[in-house]
Amino acid sequence: MASAAVDRYLEQFSTFQAELPGHGVDWLDRSRRGALDAFAKTGFPTPRHEDWKYTRVTPIEKRSFRIPERNGIEVQGADLERFGLGALDCEQLVFVNGHYVDALSRRNVSESGVRITTLASAINASSPLLESHLGRLADTTSQPFSALNTAFMSDGAVIHVKGRNGDQRPIHLLFLATSDDMVAHPRTLVVAEAQSRAAVIESYASLTEGCYFTNALTEIALMEGAQLEHYKLQQESPAAFHVATLEARLDSDSRFASHSISFGGQLVRNDINVRIEAEGAACLLNGLFMVGGRQHVDYHTRIDHAKPRGTSEEFYKGILDGRSRGVFNGRVKVHPDAQKTDAHQSNNNLLLSRDAEIDTKPELEIYADDVKCSHGATVGQLDERALFYLRSRGIDEDQARSLLTFGFAREILERVELAPLREKVTDALLERMPNAKQLREMVA
């Protein structure tokens, strides 16, 4: 089965390679071909691979997905209203089925300190930024989904932040699916020059309830003293497959924060890899997922402390109901030269059903002796005493359970600094609970 699945993608690449942006550009052709060869060699991951022990991608292998055409996309502005960010003043690039749609986007960049373009446009313009950074961070040798994205990448966003202006508008990238049985490989590149600052939001949503496949890859390079807030909100179709990788590299004294929220999808995998490559850099990883039914969500994080005086913090929470399954694997590696490292990791999970399941594995790998590192994980259910207290105050059982569940998630929600986005995520969380309207009034 795996061989047949790989062959389908090889045939698909042979059919579409001439239509990919930049076909004929030597360095890009080499990158794509090298990634495709690596994918052909490794194939799809199996449970025999330690990092995929609890997540089977057989449903993705078995299904044939088509590359959607750029033409014929029929989406109106009104269709996007529920995916917008309310009062947030931001630049917005909209991609439908993997293709950029200018008529739906809002690009008002006037500051000289930031340049936003689409990947297809940057490739066609022979941007030197791409040759220097695109594909330089992602591991396409041993990570098959990153290799597959690199081989098929055709559109996405390129964000180059150069100025020190801290009042720049956040940048919202909305990736919208409208068709069943299609595959999209969105690619995002963010390069933040020295002392620059920016906020980037990636949203993944759907106008269909059917099955499709999103395979996303984001590369982030922060130069000396740069600061980046990265937010990801995943609300794909409940039947969709969503695989995403984020690769970040941090230079000296840079600051990187990742906030990843996952609600949708039938099978979801998020890989978040950060490498601290110079002294004094810091990263913060926050995550929250809430799943039910037979949903499966998997978070794998890796932080490499390669240089001294780096700091990292991780806070992830999972809420599982029905027969859903969650996976968290957080690995922190402190290299021999990374003295004075300060790294802390926490993963807490709430099971709302007897049939829900979580596999959590926090890891520390330390090769330096002057460090402060800690990790911990918890798995539990709602506190019966707290439920009894709320019931005794006249709150019915569904509302009481929802209030306690919301209280469990609130710590992560409050870490989202952009207020309109925080409200959007809060609303999305409440909508997944019984009596959402009444609950919203109670927690307002």
Phi, psi (rounded to 5 degrees) for 308: -70, 160
Note the pLDDT tens digit of each residue in 65-110.
999 987 766 788 788 888 888 778 899 999 999 999 998 998 765 5
Q: At what angle do helices 144-152 and 2-16 cross, to 10 degrees?
A: 20
Output the CA angle 442-436-377, nearest 5 degrees: 85
Average pLDDT of span 14-27: 94
DSSP track, 234-303: EE--TT-EEEEEEEEEE-TT-EEEEEEEE---SEEEEEEEEEE-STT-EEEEEEEEEE-TT-EEEEEEEE
Q: Which residue, 257, 259, 298, 13, is CA-closest to 149?
A: 13
Contact 308, 281 (CB under 8 A): no
Taking residue 336's Cβ as centre, other Cβ atoms within 10 Å add up to 10
Residue linked to tokens 């949203």: 203
Provide the H-helix boundaries in 52-124. Answer: 58-62, 119-124
**In whole angstroms, what is the distance from residue 329 CA to residue 312 CA?**
16
Q: Which residue, 72, 71, 49, is CA-closest to 2?
A: 49
Amino acid at 26: D
Taking residue 186's Cβ as centre, other Cβ atoms within 10 Å add up to 25
**In whole angstroms, what is the distance from residue 248 CA to residue 227 CA?**
12
Assign 423 a pLDDT band (cuts: 50, 70, 90).
Answer: very high
**In whole angstroms, what is the distance from residue 55 CA to residue 60 CA?**
12
Instruction: Enumerate the β-bridge partners of residue 229.
Output: 199, 257
**In whole angstroms, what is the distance from residue 105 CA to residue 75 CA?**
12
Assign 3 a pLDDT band (cuts: 50, 70, 90).
Answer: confident
Average pLDDT, the chain: 93
Per-residue confidence (pLDDT) for residue 1, from 0 to 100: 43
**In whole angstroms, what is the distance from residue 160 CA to residue 19 CA?**
26
**In whole angstroms, what is the distance from residue 160 CA to residue 25 CA?**
22
Note the pLDDT tens digit of each residue in 184-237.
999 999 999 999 999 999 999 999 999 999 999 999 999 999 999 999 999 999
Per-residue confidence (pLDDT) for residue 77, from 0 to 100: 78
Contact 278, 309 (CB under 8 A): no
What is the separation of C-alpha 41 from the centre of its chain, rounded to a whole number of angstroms? Answer: 26
Phi, psi (rounded to 5 degrees) for 143: -110, 100
**In whole angstroms, what is the distance from residue 41 CA to residue 130 CA?**
26
How many residues can be counted in the chain?
A: 444
Contact 174, 92 (CB under 8 A): yes
Note the pLDDT tens digit of each residue in 148-188.
999 999 999 999 998 765 557 899 999 999 999 999 999 99
Per-residue confidence (pLDDT) for residue 223, from 0 to 100: 97
Note the pLDDT tens digit of each residue in 293-351.
999 999 999 999 999 999 999 999 999 999 999 999 999 999 999 999 999 999 999 99
**SS3 (DSSP) at 67:** coil
Per-residue confidence (pLDDT) for residue 109, from 0 to 100: 56
Average pLDDT of span 5-21: 95
**In whole angstroms, what is the distance from residue 424 CA to residue 370 CA?**
42
**In whole angstroms, what is the distance from residue 78 CA to residue 76 CA?**
5
